[in-house]
Amino acid sequence: MVYSSDDKIPVGISACLTGQAVRFNGSHKRSRFCTDVLSEYFNLRPMCPEVAIGMGTPREPIRLVSDTPADESVRAVGVDSPDIDVTDDLRSEAVKVSDLNQDLCGFIFMQKSPSCGLFGVKRYLKNGHPEGKASGIFASEFARLNPLLPIEEAGRLNDAALRENFMVRVFTYRDWQLFTQTTVTPARLIDFHSRYKYLIMAHSTVLYKDAGRLLSDLSGDINQIADEYFALLMTALAKP
């Protein structure tokens, strides 16, 4: 099936993954899977938080730094100039991107990036010694603001199971967006659940039962019940 640009699902993506030369050294990290395959279904919306906050290209690289090994808080500072601290700017950019792109149905981040990495970004102590892992500043703040949004790292999409899981969640998220564009009624919500109940069961029998109990009494505020149902749905699908 060929999708028109209007039909494609809006998904955010780190700009370097689309081939834009926005990395600190003026290069890119184009993901052919994203640009050549996912672009057939997704309207990829490139974003680079470091460029957006005014850092040039090329630029001094940044890294995640903590005061002590036990300190879980991290700052994004310059590798050669530790007085350069862009932590707050990156968090503010995440808020801005979240507010301006509420139609997004997913986000693909660049792995290992101190701004965009989701998992296992190298963390350092002030003396330069590597000490543990953390999440990139922009990515972690964006994920906190959008807890139900499907998000993934480009590198992890090479895993077939993770790739399928991400795409299922994106299509489900979009389906729910379209569903809620029309007034939610008990009958429509039950019909929606009938299309997803076995998918929920496949991911989590516990959440499947929770969804059934939630929908067994629709006499309350239907919009609140719908919101609770969607949270259960996306939580279940997040379990591979």
The predicted structure's pLDDT at residue 45: 98
The predicted structure's pLDDT at residue 79: 96
Token output for 165: 């899981």
What's the CA gap between 42 and 54, in Å, rounded?
Answer: 28
pLDDT in tens, 43-97: 999 999 999 999 999 999 999 999 888 777 899 999 999 999 999 999 999 999 9
Helix (H) / strand (E) element for 64: namely strand 62-66
pTM above 0.85, yes or no: yes
Token output for 48: 């680079």
Q: What is the mean pLDDT of residues 118-133?
A: 93
